[in-house]
Structure 1
Amino acid sequence: MSVMDRSTRLPTADEIAGINRTHLIETPLRPADLLFMFGTREDVGLRADTAARLWREGYFRGSIVSGGVTPGSEQSECTVIKAAMIAAGIPADRILEEHRAMNTGENVIFSLPIIDAALSLANIRSVICLGNTWTARRYPMTLHRHWPEVTKMLLTVDSFATPRALWHTDAEFCRRMLHEWDKIELYRAKGFIAEWPEA
């Protein structure tokens, strides 16, 4: 069955349980050295507002936004998200920028030299990954593949009215979740991601 077929059918009870248990991971948050904001066109305002709340509550000292120009827009995801973060109250000088990435792997690969030049990777011991609910653990798994040394925390947001554990009852939420879930084993096999959290 192709990935396309999987995203248009209902998942089995075992798949629902597996996704809820292993993909939709929630980690306790504690103050981190860096907030890593992965690029998106979805729920930008919600993402920026969440980052601003974390900033006000002292959960990070610096941040990086990563995301390139996607079809249908002349501005990079980074440009759009950073503007929303500033509007939400995060100081511009606390937001590093990466404007080329077109996927999660590039988000990390292209951001690491920028973080290193500005802050020194040696000074970063903990990172909060902030992104879409359906992408979930693939953010820290990608980060873990390229930057295993840092402690990773995960916070995800979405604007679906459907509770997260009932994602399978909303057609669009279900489609997005299965689309991402299908990438995990493929990406692991190709070495794009590394197991996280580690057993």
Structure 2
Amino acid sequence: MLISELDADQLSDDQMSKLLFGGIHDDGQKGDCIFVAGSSKAVLYRLPKAVKLYQQGRAGKMLFSGGVKWDGSLLTEAEALKREAIASGIPEDDILVEDKSLHTVENVLASLLILNREFPLYKMHRILVVTTSYHMRRLHLSLQTYMPDWIEYTLCPAEDVYTAKDNWFMTDIGRKRVHAECAKLIKYVQIGALRDMEIDI
């Protein structure tokens, strides 16, 4: 079934799981860059995954994307991620920063220029994508919609406490997040902001 044909309020738990988590996995391949989308908790949950991928030699560059400043912080999401990455031993020369974007599609759009200046884009083949698992479908579709179509993606989901594939339905906060994410995803596909795709539900 196409995402555009779905109604978030009519989906069962199993269908919501398939919509957000189905077919999301890391294929183990190397890439040109590790792309990390910022969030209020990205340093806690997404950064360790990205650092591990870098340390494994999966990519030689890391791009942190996000311009929001959370909880009165003086640092944007991307700047906070960079600071903690350096503290974790990542060389500053291997870190790229995009600190203007305010949401997922802007993460992708604003990163185009950063990536083009570094690589450039026509030489890129594969990006390792890091975000929390329940957000991965939307970020992946955003990349597929707005990035050049010759670039491939290796999906490397990070897990937070409440919204992992195997536990989101166990708590109210997990349920609320997953339902809200399903609703956003469906809405953005229906209005044409993201490309449509078939989901086996």
Q: Same fold (TM over 0.5)?
A: yes
Q: Tell me, which stretches of 5 or more residues in structure 1 are unaligned? A: 1-5
- Taking the TM superposition and a 5 Å limit, the aligned residue runs for 1:27-176 are 27=25, 28-71=27-70, 72-147=72-147, 148-160=149-161, 164-176=165-177
Distance in 2, Cα, partners of 1:122 & 1:146: 14
Letter of the structure 2 residue corresponding to residue 172 of structure 1: I
* Segment drifting more, 107-116 vs 34-43: 34-43
Letter of the structure 2 residue corresponding to residue 64 of structure 1: L
Q: 2:24 maps to which residue?
A: 26
Q: Which structure has the higher relative contact order (CA within 8 Å, separation 6+)?
A: 2
- What TM-score do you get using the length of structure 1 for normalisation? 0.85
Q: Tell me, which stretches of 5 or more residues in structure 2 are unaligned? A: 1-6
Distance in 2, Cα, partners of 1:137 & 1:73: 28
Identical-residue share of aligned pairs (%): 23
- Contact (CA 8 Å) 1:46, 1:157: kept in 2 or not? yes
- What TM-score do you get using the length of structure 2 for normalisation? 0.84
Letter of the structure 2 residue corresponding to residue 45 of structure 1: L
Q: 2:14 maps to which residue?
A: 17
Structure with the largest fraction of strand: 1
- For residues 123-164 of structure 1, give each alpha carbon's deviation from its aligned partner in whole angstroms, at most 9, with x where no partner exists: 211011101222121111000001132111212223316752
Letter of the structure 2 residue corresponding to residue 35 of structure 1: I
Distance in 1, Cα, partners of 2:179 & 2:60: 34
* Segment drifting more, 37-46 vs 153-162: 153-162
Q: How many residues align?
A: 190
Letter of the structure 2 residue corresponding to residue 78 of structure 1: A
- Contact (CA 8 Å) 1:45, 1:84: kept in 2 or not? no
Runs of 4+ aligned structure 1 residues displaced above 3 Å come to 195-199
* Segment drifting more, 16-25 vs 55-64: 16-25
SS in structure 1 of the partner of residue 128 of structure 2: strand
Q: 2:178 maps to which residue?
A: 177
Q: 2:188 maps to which residue?
A: 187
Q: 1:3 maps to which residue?
A: none
Distance in 2, Cα, partners of 1:198 & 1:124: 28
- Contact (CA 8 Å) 2:67, 2:77: kept in 1 or not? yes
SS in structure 2 of the partner of residue 194 of structure 1: coil
